[in-house]
Chains A and B, each alone.
Chain A
Amino acid sequence: MDNTISTKKSKPRFGVPSELSEGLSEVASPTEEKFRTVIIPIDKLDPDPENPRRLSIEINDLALGPDKEHPEYKKKIHEYEQLLTLAESIKKDGLLNPVTVYENNSRFILVAGERRLFATIITKEKKIEARVFKSRPSLLSIRHIQWVENEEREDLSLKDKFYNLKQLLEAHLLENPSDEITSELIASLTGRTVRQSRTYLKILNDQSVLAAIENDKIKNLESAFIIAGLLSEEQKKNAIDLHFQGGTVKKLKDFAENPIGFKSSESKFSPLPDVKKGTNINLGKVKNIKIARVIANALSAHPETNKYAGIFNDIDWNNPLVIKKAFLKYIKLLEKNYSK
């Protein structure tokens, strides 16, 4: 690291390295919106009316699980299961990242952390740790907090990541309407490097790729970037199909190098003839753990499927959630194997 400002032969002049300088100035600056971290009662928390919710699940679903008759039951149960996992983690390690709220009369309005709040309610705790702003932070601050917090989620989908990114950029442009969206701007807002931000920018500028991400047809950032680099809409459509059918990043890269030679009807990656593209086959549910164990043992014994059987070693066979996760992982590996 060059810590000199000028390097005349006779006498170098020393300076504080620029990154350290910026860091020092940042910590020394008074904060515009101060907050304090306190424990607050959950029954004093309200949702933010100005912030559209992303979760389908509601607070009244948490005690007994979502109602099976509800039209959005499928989405709700998926969210509920994710919350159960988060609740287990909170019971074990505590809430590592407080929720963010602002004060409103004698109540608190939730800015970020709905999933953490819901998971805490599932643990039956009546209080929660919160960062409390004195007043509603600016929209840009809220979006920035949400971006930072969501980045820490292991289960954050590509769709949610781009949703958050677009929200962050929109909030920035509201305050700075004359700004152009560049990779440098994205880097400064998200904390990513400029190089990583170029990836995001390329995807943001491609409506077909964005639509595919929105429809869960592209779930991988690198694949999205490769597809956004293709020249024609037809090539992009073919590449999206390829990816959706289980094409690996390597296959996509090969395709990107020679897209003309690819024809959708001749794809090696076509699904089995009697199954419609994109149809999921529900393998059924069991309540009896012994049945799940019998199936796992059978898979472990079969010569075609035993190579992934290690997934079932050492799992907690008393915990239905853990067993389900193991089967999901196993099926994913089988799908990958059979799609080659």
Chain B
Amino acid sequence: MRIVAVANNKGGVGKTKFAKTLADYIAHNKHKYPQLKKNTLLIDFDSQCNLSNRLLNMEITPYAKEGKQPPIHPDYNPDNPEDKNWDGRSTIANIFFRQPVIPYPTDCEFIDILPGHASKLLEAEQVRKDEMVCKLIDIFYKFIWSEAVTDNYDLIIIDTGPSKGGLTRAAIHAATHLIIPAIMEFDSIEGVYGMMHLWKQENYSRNEDDQLNLIGILPNKFKGNTSLHRNLLDDLKSKPEVGNYVLDEFKLPDKIFFAENDAKGVAPTSVFELPDSNKDKIAVTKTFDYIMEKLING
């Protein structure tokens, strides 16, 4: 099973967009990967729940703290005695409160999602430093590598929040691969440093044959017509060692199309539904072909 953590402790760099686009890519290109025999699971570890909101109709309610909770699960049947003690909703945060987790289906039959829950995720992360391992990191690791998960999924994509807190560390500890989307601006590059530091620390505690594979630093929302973005990308690429991880050939452009995708009721809903000759589709497909290649074979 492959688990890819999408992380950068700076917000707004496009982690959620990347995770969603990777899911879209799999939805449209799974036939290219016969190794993927089971389903793909998305996990929303960000308390902002943007990924959950894009794939499910998260409910806005004044009664739930932070105002968003997952919708009633399609499998919930209030008349079923087995569902008697269930409120009909499920989130990834449930694992920290010893409550059952039931993934939600999405529009794609082989992609499921475990949505976030703003207040529960924030509450779970409020642990002391010395409790982080046993209360967050170990629990998530045991869950993700349990038979219930590995029997049903062979690819998991974790969207993390903009932090280096317990949830991000839990994701990194459980993952087999890490990708760091970054905007070519100073704050975001600092976030890259923070994540690479976590990556290195994680690998110190792992055996040699079990290392966390860094797929790369993916330049995202790239504005090719600005000297800031171009210069910083060139400079980063030229740095010894770190330059090897910069995926400059596969940078994703800053296109309004990606933002428009997210609007409900707008077609097409994915760049992969555009005609094959479309330049954006070609560029994005090239990026995700590379990323999947690293995930499956790297």
Contact = CB atoms under 8 A, between A and B. Distances in A.
Contact of A28 (B189, B228, B242): B242
A117 to B, nearest CB: 20
B227 A12 contact: yes
B20 to A, nearest CB: 28
A320 interface: no
B13 to A, nearest CB: 16
Interface in A27-68: 27-29, 31, 34-37
Contacts of B227: 11-14
A93 interface: yes
A28 B241 contact: yes
A191 interface: no
Contacts of A5: 231, 235
A24 interface: yes
A25 interface: yes
Contacts of A16: 186, 189, 232, 235-236, 239
Q: How big is chain B's contact interface, by range?
A: 20 to 34
Contact of A24 (B203, B228, B242): B242
Nearest to A30: B241
A13 B203 CA distance: 36
A310 interface: no
Contacts of A27: 193, 196-197, 199-200, 242
A11 B226 CA distance: 11
Interface on chain A toward B: helix, strand, loop, or mixed SS? mixed
Contact of B186 (A3, A24, A93): A3
A177 B207 CA distance: 35
Nearest to B229: A14
B225 to A, nearest CB: 13
Contacts of B200: 27, 31
B275 interface: no
A21 B130 contact: no
Contacts of B196: 24, 27-28
B206 interface: yes
A15 B232 CA distance: 5
B240 A36 contact: no
Contacts of B231: 5, 13-15
B224 to A, nearest CB: 14
B203 to A, nearest CB: 8
Contacts of B80: none
B35 interface: no
Interface string B241-267: 110110000000000000000000000
B297 interface: no
B239 A25 contact: yes
Interface string A309-333: 0000000000000000000000000
Contacts of A3: 186
B190 interface: yes
Contacts of B232: 14-16
Given A20-B190, A34-B208, A25 B228 contact: no
A5 B227 CA distance: 12
Which of B190, B193, B204, B244 counts the most A-chain CB atoms under 10 A from its CB? B193
Contacts of B240: 25, 29
Interface in B92-139: 130
A17 B190 CA distance: 10
A24 B193 contact: yes
B277 interface: no
B61 interface: no
B193 A35 contact: no
Nearest to B207: A36
B205 interface: yes
B7 interface: no
A24 B246 CA distance: 12
Contact of B235 (A12, A14, A23): A14
B192 interface: yes
Contacts of B199: 27
Interface in B142-197: 186, 189-190, 192-193, 196-197
16 contacts: A13-B227, A14-B228, A14-B232, A14-B235, A15-B235, A16-B186, A16-B236, A20-B189, A21-B239, A27-B193, A27-B242, A28-B239, A28-B244, A28-B245, A36-B207, A94-B130
